[in-house]
Every structure is written in structure tokens, then in C-alpha cells.
Structure 1
């Protein structure tokens, strides 16, 4: 009798353990889905931030050109360097596009 009771207790514990395993697996699936959703949201937010930072930068540059060159010499030189770098970046990008079209 004691052996049957012992086997029954092991069987009960096994069923309880399997039930807990199923619960943990279901929770794991749910957490993975939530994580994926959060990662998707984060990616969209990062793209939005990058886009807004670019727009802010372009707005600052456009504002500076719309109001004329800065008054002091240091700001004037910085503005010229920034504009020169931006133009050089555009030229490099255009050259890459032309090279891709030619190949």
C-alpha cells in the first residue's frame, strides 16, 4: 500500500509540474509577443527621432540662410564649414548614384 501511495504522490506531483510547465510556456509566448511589440515600437520611435533630428538640422540651416549669414566671424566660419560639409555629402551621394547607374 505504501508503494501505491508513493507512486500516486509522484504521479500527482508530475501532473502539477506539467501544469506549471504549460503555464510557464504560455507566459513565455506572451512575453515574447510583448517584447516583439515593444521592439517594433522602439524601432518606429528611433526612426521618428532620426527624422525629426534631420528636420531640425535642416530647419536650422534654412533659418540661417534665410536670415543671412551670422553676424560674428566665428559663427560665420562655422556656418560656412557646415554648409560646405553638407554640400560635399550631397556631391558624394550623387557620385555614388551615378556610379551605380553606370555599372
Structure 2
């Protein structure tokens, strides 16, 4: 009977240990999710800034006329993309 009680206590102790580990891992997981969300926000902010700077560079290059053939084609492609996006928005507004 004492052997059974010893085994039962060992199982109970192990269960308590596992529950504590689970709680620690849950907290760590929550912290990692928070950190990931913050990192994603930083990346998004930086991508937006890069986009803004690229647009400013395009404006400066257009205004000074310093575009080579490749840059001009890339700029035309981006402008076409903007126009398609605007047309799509207008069609959604008119629907």
C-alpha cells in the first residue's frame, strides 16, 4: 500500500511540475507573440518609409530629367500600377 502511495505522490509531483512548466511556457509564448507583433509593426513602418522615400526620389528624378531607360520603364510600370489601383477603387465606389 505504501508503494502505491509513493507512486501516486510521484505522479502528482510530476503533474504539478508539468503544470508549472506549462504556465511558464504560456507566458513565454505570449511574450514572443507580443514581440513578433511589435517587430511586424516596425517592419511595416520601415517599409512605408522606404516607399515614401522611393516616391520622393522618383519625383526628384522626374523633375530633373535624370532618368535612364531602365529607370524610366520602371517608373512607367509603377505609374501604370497606380492607375490600375485608382481605377479599381473608382469602380468599387461606383458599384
TM range (shorter): 0.7 to 0.9
Residue 65 (str. 1) matches residue 57 (str. 2)? no
Q: For 1:50 and 1:85, how far apart are their aligned partners in 2? A: 20
Structure 1 gap ranges (5+): none
Larger Rg: 1
Q: Whose relative contact order is higher, 1 or 2, with alpha carbons under 8 Å and at least 6 apart?
A: 2
Q: CA deviation at 1:99?
A: 1.0
> TM-score of the superposition, structure 2-length normalised?
0.83
1:1-103 pair list within 5 angstroms: 4-66=1-63, 68-70=64-66, 75-103=67-95
Q: For 2:79 and 2:6, how far apart are their aligned partners in 1? A: 78
Moved over 6 A (4+): none
Q: CA deviation at 1:13?
A: 0.3
Q: Deviations over 1:10-56 (max 9, x none)?
A: 12202211211221221121122112112211220221121122022
> TM-score of the superposition, structure 1-length normalised?
0.77
Structure 2 gap ranges (5+): none
Aligned-residue RMSD, C-alpha: 1.7
> How many aligned residue pairs are there?
95
